[in-house]
Amino acid sequence: MDSQPAIDTFAALADLARDVQTLRGMVLREQRRLLEAWQPYLIQKSFQPSAANLAAYIALRRHDLCELQTRLSAYGLSSLGRSEAHVMHNLDNVLQAMRMMLGGQPSPARAKHLGQPMLPCAPLAHNTEWLLGPSPSNRTVRIMVTLPSQAATDYLFVRELVVRGMDCARINCAHDDRNTWAGMVSHVRRAGQETGRPCRVLMDLAGPRVRTGAIVAGPAVLHLKPKRDMQGCVMQPARVVLDGSGAPGRPAERDALGRQIPARVAVAPDWVARLQTGDTIKILDSRGHEREMKVRVQISEQEVLADAEAGIYLTPDTLLALERETAGGMVAFAVPCGPILPLPMDIRVVQGDLLRLTRSPTAGEPARMDPDTGEVVPAHVSCLPSEVHDYLEEGQTVFIDEGRIGARIEALDGEGALLRIIHVKAEGDKIRPEKGMNFPDSNMGLPALTEKDLSDLDFVVSQADLVGYSFVQSEDDMDRLVAALAERNAAHLGIVAKIETRRGVQNLPEIIAHGAGRHPFGVMIARGDLAVEIGFARLAEIQEEILWLCEAAHVPVIWATQVLENLIKRGMPSRAEMTDIAMAERAECVMINKGPFVLDAIAMLDDVVERMRGHQHKKTARLRALHW
């Protein structure tokens, strides 16, 4: 009576073993096909086993294994769910275990795998150290930090970044110049030597970044605005530097580290020389309001810091009158304001608005009323580079400024494209110059390496340890960079492929094979542009797939974009950000951006990834003791 269930179980296990054996055969055939196509690019012998594993993983994942996994788990066997780093090893171990459960002997051809544990992947650890340098003593995840311009002149700041835990410094070649980059690199190298914490340097090529063009300047007006409480009382006066250097006046702003920089007013140098602490400056501002400033401190021979308790609107030629009491009475020395740097005009759009995207590099302007017809002429802004227009079609989607503004192409003509705003905040939003644009429905044929990139590469190969390859979309793109590096005798330079487009995701296996086969290699999940390109709903899914694919190739991954963004910019992380960095521990490196609280962010990241190291490795939960 009891033998029938045993016979049924035996038969079901035998069927399962045949299915797994069939799967293994299909994986091998597809693996060989992929490797044959990649073979000419697998120059690095050390990468060849990794390429074979990547090919096997791709072949494995082309099958829906959900039902097979359920059957394997029912027998206490590996469900193949964590086989990324060692695909054939996992399959062979499962087959050997089933053969023995069925009363057979291990296959001599595959006995080498029997009983061998699948430990954390040694090739991945080796490749990560090759690319990113040795790991810190307390964690395996490296920390990369984007350097602000100030890093070129503030050595102590760079040193503190390294002390807090920066393992790799990122320099964005889309900003600054070679002198600034050289200063940054010098400070990073010096800090690494002095602290005994080696720090790699990644220089990120700008790539064919599509951006909004210039916008017409508005009126030259400088608004000095004190900070007030809810009852209108002044909490902090407006700070202003009276500047005799000849530089134009400009409004208050924050630098790349988030520090507040006072407004500046251009004035004659001989007038600045007269100013003394405590002086009162009388002003009749552009609205006809009587205002005054108080001189607080002399900053330099040409600069004096003053403040104002009331709002002041200044225009060029507004008179600033210094009043000083002398033995002969009150004396006034008046001087006009110098030139003021005008800011771009506001181009504000709301849901349903039309926006013209111009082919010519005409400065953008807000919507206006045509005086002859009484009709509204839509706002317009140019798109750089103009070659983008060659790839546009009606009905395609356009996103501006990291997806803050979404539009659909309604019409195309010789002047450019007419867009309809379909996604924007309820109150509308501003279109600003030099903001990124994404065309997720368009198959852009722009070159991945621009003339600027090739020029910058001459500097990069002499200074950096790694080059970041922006907007790489295909194996052909990778071949172009490898060739450019070979021309510069830079076979040693590490490559980080930034995956930020749909085509980049689709072609990732070939990008890896053509890159890692010839250079130290890593992949950056550039989640900013990637989220806009593939849709925010798919970001979590795609970043998981990129992690799996790279683990199969034994290629390190850099988790990037908006990591601890609230902490870095405002001093307080969001709860979602804390979960994000816990997930980021599954990558080999996490990149954070610049901001006023970047040092706090490094410390937080260092602490969290060290803790998570004890709880998980890649997809595997680790059962460290809980303390309840």
- 104 pLDDT band (50/70/90 cuts)? confident
Please check whether residues 364 and 392 belong to one and the same domain. yes
Segment 259-267 mean pLDDT: 89
- Lowest-confidence range among 196-210, 271-285, 317-331? 317-331
- The pLDDT score that the predictor gives to residue 26 is 96
Range list of H helices, 39-177? 48-61, 66-74, 87-101, 122-132, 155-164
Please check whether residues 494 and 579 belong to one and the same domain. yes
Query: Higher pLDDT residue, 164 or 256?
Result: 164
Whether the per-residue pLDDT at 526 is higher than 60: the answer is yes
- 88 pLDDT band (50/70/90 cuts)? very high
For residue 359 the two structure tokens come to 């082919």
Whether the per-residue pLDDT at 240 is higher than 60: the answer is yes
Q: Classify residue 588: in a domain, yes or no.
A: yes
Please check whether residues 509 and 596 belong to one and the same domain. yes
Segment 7-29 mean pLDDT: 91
- 627 pLDDT band (50/70/90 cuts)? low
- The pLDDT score that the predictor gives to residue 610 is 87
For 523, phi then psi, to 5°, come to -125, 135
Whether the per-residue pLDDT at 579 is higher than 80: the answer is yes
- Lowest-confidence range among 27-41, 220-234, 349-363? 220-234
Distances (CA, A) of 39 to 31, 34, 45, 518, 523: 12, 9, 11, 11, 21
Query: Higher pLDDT residue, 346 or 187?
Result: 187
Q: What is the CATH number of the domain that holds 132?
A: 3.20.20.60
What angle do helix axes 598-613 and 575-584 make, rounded to 10 degrees?
A: 60
Whether the per-residue pLDDT at 620 is higher than 70: the answer is yes
Please check whether residues 422 and 374 belong to one and the same domain. yes
- 580 pLDDT band (50/70/90 cuts)? very high
pTM equals: 0.86
Q: Which of 119, 142, 168 is the last residue of a domain?
A: 119
Whether the per-residue pLDDT at 116 is higher than 60: the answer is no
Q: Name residue, tokens 């990794």.
A: 50
Please check whether residues 617 and 510 belong to one and the same domain. yes
Q: Which of 91, 119, 147 is the last residue of a domain?
A: 119
Beta bridge partner(s), residue 303: 243, 300
- Lowest-confidence range among 330-334, 366-370, 434-438? 330-334
Tell me the residue range of the domain where 201 lies: 123-208+447-621
Whether the per-residue pLDDT at 7 is higher than 70: the answer is no
Please, what sign has the CA dihedral across residues 373, 376, 378, 379?
positive
Please check whether residues 374 and 404 belong to one and the same domain. yes
Whether the per-residue pLDDT at 118 is higher than 70: the answer is no
Segment 48-67 mean pLDDT: 95
- 364 pLDDT band (50/70/90 cuts)? very high
The proportion of the chain whose per-residue pLDDT surpasses 70, expressed as a percent, equals 94
Please check whether residues 391 and 316 belong to one and the same domain. no
Please check whether residues 133 and 199 belong to one and the same domain. yes
- 445 pLDDT band (50/70/90 cuts)? confident
- The pLDDT score that the predictor gives to residue 406 is 96
Q: How many independent structural domains does the chain possess?
A: 4
The proportion of the chain whose per-residue pLDDT surpasses 90, expressed as a percent, equals 76
Q: Classify residue 626: in a domain, yes or no.
A: no
Whether the per-residue pLDDT at 499 is higher than 90: the answer is yes
- 578 pLDDT band (50/70/90 cuts)? very high
- 427 pLDDT band (50/70/90 cuts)? very high
Whether the per-residue pLDDT at 582 is higher than 70: the answer is yes
- The pLDDT score that the predictor gives to residue 444 is 85
- The pLDDT score that the predictor gives to residue 447 is 87
Beta bridge partner(s), residue 430: 348
- The pLDDT score that the predictor gives to residue 4 is 59
- The pLDDT score that the predictor gives to residue 560 is 94
Distances (CA, A) of 587 to 47, 103, 337, 371: 19, 41, 54, 59
Whether the per-residue pLDDT at 122 is higher than 90: the answer is no
Q: Classify residue 460: in a domain, yes or no.
A: yes
- 258 pLDDT band (50/70/90 cuts)? low
Please check whether residues 481 and 569 belong to one and the same domain. yes
- 9 pLDDT band (50/70/90 cuts)? confident
Q: Classify residue 214: in a domain, yes or no.
A: no
Beta bridge partner(s), residue 620: 617
Q: What is the CATH number of the domain that holds 426?
A: 2.40.33.10
- 137 pLDDT band (50/70/90 cuts)? confident
Q: CA end-to-end span of the chain, whole Å?
A: 48
- 230 pLDDT band (50/70/90 cuts)? confident
CA 407, CA 418: separation in Å to the nearest integer?
Answer: 10
- The pLDDT score that the predictor gives to residue 133 is 94
DSSP helix/strand/coil, 349: strand
Please check whether residues 484 and 594 belong to one and the same domain. yes
- 257 pLDDT band (50/70/90 cuts)? low
- The pLDDT score that the predictor gives to residue 513 is 97
- Lowest-confidence range among 92-106, 145-159, 476-490? 92-106
CA 499, CA 503: separation in Å to the nearest integer?
Answer: 9
Q: Classify residue 188: in a domain, yes or no.
A: yes
Give the tens place of pLDDT for each residue, 534-556.
999 999 999 999 999 999 999 99
CA 227, CA 225: separation in Å to the nearest integer?
Answer: 7
Q: How far is CA 253 from the centre of its chain?
A: 23
Q: Which of 304, 336, 368 is the last residue of a domain?
A: 336
Give the tens place of pLDDT for each residue, 396-420.
999 999 899 999 999 999 899 999 9
For 447, phi then psi, to 5°, come to -65, 135
Whether the per-residue pLDDT at 359 is higher than 80: the answer is yes
Q: Classify residue 627: in a domain, yes or no.
A: no
Please check whether residues 566 and 515 belong to one and the same domain. yes
- 125 pLDDT band (50/70/90 cuts)? very high
For residue 104 the two structure tokens come to 């057979």
- The pLDDT score that the predictor gives to residue 223 is 93
- The pLDDT score that the predictor gives to residue 370 is 85
Please check whether residues 7 and 52 belong to one and the same domain. yes
Give the tens place of pLDDT for each residue, 302-350.
999 999 999 999 999 999 999 777 766 777 789 999 999 998 898 999 9
Q: Classify residue 217: in a domain, yes or no.
A: no
Whole-number average pLDDT of the chain: 91
Helix (H) or strand (E) holding 4: helix 3-38
Segment 127-143 mean pLDDT: 93
Q: Classify residue 261: in a domain, yes or no.
A: yes
- Lowest-confidence range among 130-139, 144-153, 323-332, 540-549? 323-332
Closest CA to 15 of 122, 98, 132: 98
